[in-house]
């Protein structure tokens, strides 16, 4: 196993681009840069899957070299190519770098600093582009590195920034509202969460998040624990019409069921 393991490590430590693999080239056209990025992502994903498969193979063979291979993820090799694309103006490459910073940097504190800086650059340079709404929506998943305060700080930066695309601004407001309205939220946080949702709905009504905000505001105002239940009319098993308010002052169990 020694020869095979050494060869494997060499291949993953410094993989050479495959023949015909996309290389980062000067591209003034945004569409060309995006195409380069998508091709590079596909190449990286293939390398990542091969890396994971080889680790599993070595572990099954009880070859301890899997530990060394584990510390050489493909992100280390692909990082310069995504970085070059980001420097050329492709924002999605910057998003990739922010997402993979924990593979590039050790220990976790360095990865956290890198993610904070990269997401900050993404917002500063590309918040005027609609696609940035997607990484904004995923920011809460980075709490392991950024923490609650770090995620909120980035969302606040978007909410306060001028020149932000409407889809990005509305999504940032909605995500920030969800972060504020947690199980341990104070009355002040709950009130601000509702205000942020209202702002998303009134200021950006034509956006995806703005349309979602209308329903969210209703839920915040009427469906919180402790709020009076919204009245409704229904028909019982005998066909008699009744309203929920007919049972006001009594304990009522509402059982929703159906066939899907």
Q: Inform me whether the pLDDT recorded for 238 exceeds 50.
A: yes
> Residue 101: enclosing H or E segment and its boundaries?
helix 91-104
Pick from 22-26, 63-67, 182-186, 228-232: least confident: 22-26
Would you state the pLDDT for residue 226? 80
pTM: 0.80
**27-32 average pLDDT score:** 80
Q: In this predicted model, what pLDDT tens digit does every residue of 217-226 receive, in sequence order?
A: 998 888 888 8
> Residue 234: enclosing H or E segment and its boundaries?
strand 233-235
Q: Is 189 exposed, middle or buried (0-12, 13-18, 19+ CB in 10 A)?
A: middle
* Dist. CA 41–CA 78, nearest whole Å: 9
Do 178 and 148 form a contact (C-beta atoms < 8 A)? no
- Compute the mean pLDDT over every residue in the chain, rounded to the nearest whole number: 89
Would you state the pLDDT for residue 25? 56
Could you tell me how many helices (H) and strands (E) the chain has, helices first? 11, 2
**Cα–Cα distances in angstroms (integers) from residue 44 to residues 9, 37, 88, 182, 251, in the given order:** 17, 10, 19, 37, 58
Query: pLDDT band at 29, cuts 50/70/90?
Result: confident
Q: In this predicted model, what pLDDT tens digit does every residue of 135-182 receive, in sequence order?
A: 999 999 999 999 999 999 999 999 999 999 999 999 999 999 999 998
Q: Which tokens belong to 53?
A: 């498969």
Q: In this predicted model, what pLDDT tens digit does every residue of 30-43 receive, in sequence order?
A: 899 999 999 999 99
* Dist. CA 223–CA 228, nearest whole Å: 8
* Dist. CA 39–CA 81, nearest whole Å: 12
| Higher pLDDT pick, 234 / 10 | 234
> 78-92 as b/e, with b when 16 or more CB fall inside 10 Å?
bbebbbbbbebebbb
* Dist. CA 85–CA 90, nearest whole Å: 6
Phi-psi region of 226 (alpha: psi -120 to 50; beta: other; left: phi over 0): left
Query: Which residues, 6 or more positions from 81, have their beta carbon under 8 angstroms from its beta carbon?
Result: 23, 24, 40
| Higher pLDDT pick, 100 / 230 | 100
- Residues above pLDDT 90, as percent of the chain: 74
Q: Inform me whether the pLDDT recorded for 15 exceeds 50.
A: no
Q: Pick the closest to residue 13 from 51, 56, 62, 60 (CA basis).
A: 51
């Amino acid at each position: 196993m020694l020869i095979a393991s050494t060869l494997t490590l060499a291949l993953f430590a410094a993989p050479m681009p495959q023949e015909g693999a996309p290389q980062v080239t000067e591209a003034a056209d945004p569409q060309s840069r995006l195409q380069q990025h998508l091709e590079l992502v596909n190449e990286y994903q293939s390398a990542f899957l091969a890396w994971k498969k080889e680790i599993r193979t070595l572990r099954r063979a009880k070859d301890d070299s899997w530990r060394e291979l584990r510390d050489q993820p493909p992100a280390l090799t692909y990082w310069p190519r995504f970085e070059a694309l980001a420097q050329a103006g492709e924002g999605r490459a910057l998003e990739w770098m922010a997402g993979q910073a924990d593979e590039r940097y050790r220990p976790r504190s360095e990865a956290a600093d890198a993610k904070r800086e990269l997401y900050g650059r993404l917002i500063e340079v590309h918040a005027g582009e609609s696609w940035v709404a997607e990484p904004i929506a995923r920011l809460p998943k980075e709490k392991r590195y950024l923490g609650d305060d770090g995620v909120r700080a980035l969302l606040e930066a978007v909410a306060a920034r001028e020149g932000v695309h409407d889809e990005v601004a509305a999504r940032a407001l909605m995500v920030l509202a969800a972060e504020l309205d947690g199980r341990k939220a104070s009355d002040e946080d709950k009130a601000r969460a509702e205000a942020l949702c209202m702002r998303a709905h009134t200021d950006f009504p034509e956006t995806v998040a703005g349309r979602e905000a209308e329903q969210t505001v209703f839920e915040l105002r009427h469906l919180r624990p402790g709020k009076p239940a919204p009245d409704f009319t229904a028909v019982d098993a005998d066909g008699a019409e009744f309203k929920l308010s007919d049972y006001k002052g009594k304990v009522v169990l509402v059982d929703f069921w159906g066939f899907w």
